[in-house]
Amino acid sequence: MEPRNYESSTQPESFVGQRMFILGQACPWAIAVLDAAIRNSEFITSAKVVLGSVSDISASPEQINKSVNNFAGYNKNTYPVNSTAEVINITSNDMTGMAEEARADLRLIFGLQQSQKSQTEEQGESNYVA
Amino acid sequence: MLRKLKNQIIAQNKALKSANAYRELIRQEAIIGGTLFGALPKGHRRDFFCLDEHTWIWHEEWLDHSGERQIRTTRYDVRPSGVVKIQDGNTYRAINPAEARNLREAIGLYYKRVMSELYCQPN
């Protein structure tokens, strides 16, 4: 995603025209960047919610992957790739990148949960021994 | 020689006139931009405008309880990787999702209002 060519030869000569030209470039560009940022943050936030539904922390990696993949499908349906094609060019690579980021996030949270469980179990065992 | 000097002065005057007119356009945009966020309390002044292709400015002035003038300027930099802001000369930081939504809404409204009210362009 790159800003459009600001140095276009079609840039008008009058200052009013120049200003309108800049706004015509700047506003859609800013909106596109913000859309992508919002979409990405919603994706990650929702991914955490999906993980929250995987309450059984003994879930297998396959089960977690299934949840993540279901979520990725949901996200694509919510934000059809071609809906903002005129303003922002979201490719399947971008979607893959976002899904990867969400997966990493999920792995991190899941890893922490597992670590907390292990600590609780260890503590429980030591208490029992004592 | 004299003709060359005259041409230089004319060119300089033209450039100055254009720069002033351009600044005046931004000032008018800032006034419209300042009205996008609702009514202002007495003593407040708010400007919101597009400075250039990738910079947006929010400027706010108000009187505090002791009657002293307070000023806050927030600059938003739009980068391909996202939007960062710098406030009153502090360090850059990324904007949070709620602020991103508000800024997006404001920019969309700004474009519509400025184009129709200042440049008489139908949206």
| pLDDT per position as a tens digit, B8-61 | 777 777 777 777 888 888 999 999 999 998 888 888 899 999 999 899 999 999
Which carries the bigger pLDDT value, residue A41 or residue B39? B39
- Predicted-assembly ipTM surpassing the 0.90 threshold: no
- What's the predicted TM-score (pTM) here? 0.60
Which residues 18-77 on chain A approach chain B with CB closer than 8 angstroms?
18-20, 22-23, 25-27, 29-31, 33-38, 41-42, 45
Q: How confident is the model at residue A57 (pLDDT cuts 50, 70, 90)?
A: very low
| Residue ranges covered by each domain of chain A | 15-129
Strand order in the sheet with B93-94: B45-52, B55-63, B69-79, B82-87, B93-94
Which carries the bigger pLDDT value, residue B83 or residue A106? B83
Q: How confident is the model at residue A46 (pLDDT cuts 50, 70, 90)?
A: low
Chain B contacts of A19, Cβ < 8 Å? 22, 25-26, 119
CA B36 to chain centre: 13
Closest CA to B89 of B70, B72, B112: B72
The phi and psi torsions of A35 (rounded to 5 degrees) equal -55, -45
Share above pLDDT 70 across residues of chain B, in percent, rounded to a whole number: 98
Contact of A3 with chain B, judged by CB distance below 8 Å, is answered with yes
